[in-house]
Amino acid sequence: MNRFQHWKLTLVLLLVFGAGATVGSVATLIHFKRGFAQALRYDAWIEGSMKSLERKLELSPEQLPKVRSLVNETGVEIRHALGTAATNTVVSLVRFGDRLDAELSPTQRSVHQGMRIEFREKVRSKFGIDPDQL
């Protein structure tokens, strides 16, 4: 009977540990996913940067508009750089697909064509970039 009670305790502890690990993993995934999405919002970046600079540098009222202007300009530059990088990445992937087609058999090429259509649809929906116009 004593062994049976230890078996139950072990099972309960194992279930509690497993539940904790599962909840922790899901919470971590959600946290990082939300943080990544937040990092891509430029208005949030600008406001966060301004708050941090104001607090750490103790900016004077005269400095605030000038610093905000610099942060806004930098935000525009970053947005442009990321947009250019995304476009260049899509162009590289389209060229890769063209070169890959030359190495494939006709059967493989038809399967790959379906993959390319799916890729183009995802790029259009997620990034607003039309790979056919590049």
**Tokens matching residue 71:** 């942060």
Q: How far, rounded to the nearest angstrom, does the alpha carbon of residue 10 sit from its chain's CA centroid?
A: 40
Q: Of the candidates 42, 38, 39, which has an alpha carbon nearest to the alpha carbon of residue 73?
A: 42
Please report, rounded to a whole number, the percentage of residues in the chain having pLDDT higher than 90: 41
* Position 122 confidence tier, pLDDT thresholds 50, 70, 90: confident
Query: 117 or 43: which carries more pLDDT confidence?
Result: 117
**pTM confidence score:** 0.53
User: Residue 100: is it exposed, middle or buried by C-beta count within 10 angstroms (0-12/13-18/19+)?
Assistant: middle
